Chains A and B, each alone.
Chain A
Amino acid sequence: MQVPILKQGGVLIATIQAALSDADLLELRTALVQQVVRYRSSGVIVDVTAMDVMDSFASRTLLEISHMIRLRGAATVIVGIQPEVAFAMVQLGLTLEDIPTALDLEEGLEYLQQKARSIN
């Protein structure tokens, strides 16, 4: 299950469309980091609305994605964590504290635009 990555201006948008295996998540990590480099992107949005479960592996991989992209000087926002998924994540002990999150794609884009404005 490949995750489509859309380029919109300086922002890459990865929309997860179904449950992902561990291998799929690692593939997404590689693809995102490569494309951030190729397109000199300033921001990345990962839309996890369709993710059924956010377990320790998925959380760790999202953290890694965000850290790698930050080292490139770009920002990552996770959007669309479903309420029941958030509930399970907190019970499990996963809070994704290091990564900005937003309600949906629109708010994620807004966050990245504000961040770009505050730098310029």
Chain B
Amino acid sequence: MAADTQILITSDRDVVAARQQGRAVALRTGFSMSEATLIATAISELARNIVSYANQGSVTLRPVYGSNGAIGLTIVASDSGPGIADVTLALRDGYSSSGGLGLGLPGVRRLMDEFDIVSRAGSGTTVTVTKWLP
């Protein structure tokens, strides 16, 4: 089983590094160029959220194996920032607390097969997403 890859996110440069590593790992896992671009785009959004809202955190890339022989890639974006006060609102299309397009989190949910978010005000946010090989 391939090891996890963890990328520390402290600046917008790291956002680029994270999505480039994510694309490389996705291609090695067996995803097509098109799927790897979806995954890289999702990582870019998640890593930017870390820089914008929490200043620092990490993105972990983890190849995963389902019980039915499925192969996938899980991405965990984690920070100890201020957390999200209203997760339901943050997942709504068009909502942004930062003047952005408001497509970040709902967009990531559309790009990936599985999406999970744990956030508590004051104790940070962890977003876990998985894409399975078709």
Q: A: which residues have CB within 8 A of B?
A: 19-23, 52-57, 59-60, 82-85, 87-89, 91-94
Contact = CB atoms under 8 A, between A and B. Distances in A.
B106 A52 contact: no
Given A19-B20, A21-B15, A92-B103, 20 more contacts: A20-B16, A23-B12, A52-B19, A52-B23, A53-B41, A55-B41, A55-B44, A55-B45, A56-B107, A60-B100, A84-B37, A88-B34, A91-B38, A91-B41, A91-B111, A92-B41, A92-B45, A92-B110, A92-B111, A93-B110
Contacts of B101: 56, 59-60, 93-94
Contacts of A21: 12-13, 15-16
14 contacts: A19-B16, A21-B15, A21-B16, A52-B23, A54-B41, A55-B48, A56-B100, A56-B107, A59-B101, A87-B38, A88-B41, A91-B41, A93-B110, A94-B107
Interface of B: 12-13, 15-16, 19-20, 23, 33-34, 36-38, 40-41, 44-45, 48, 93, 100-101, 103-104, 106-108, 110-111
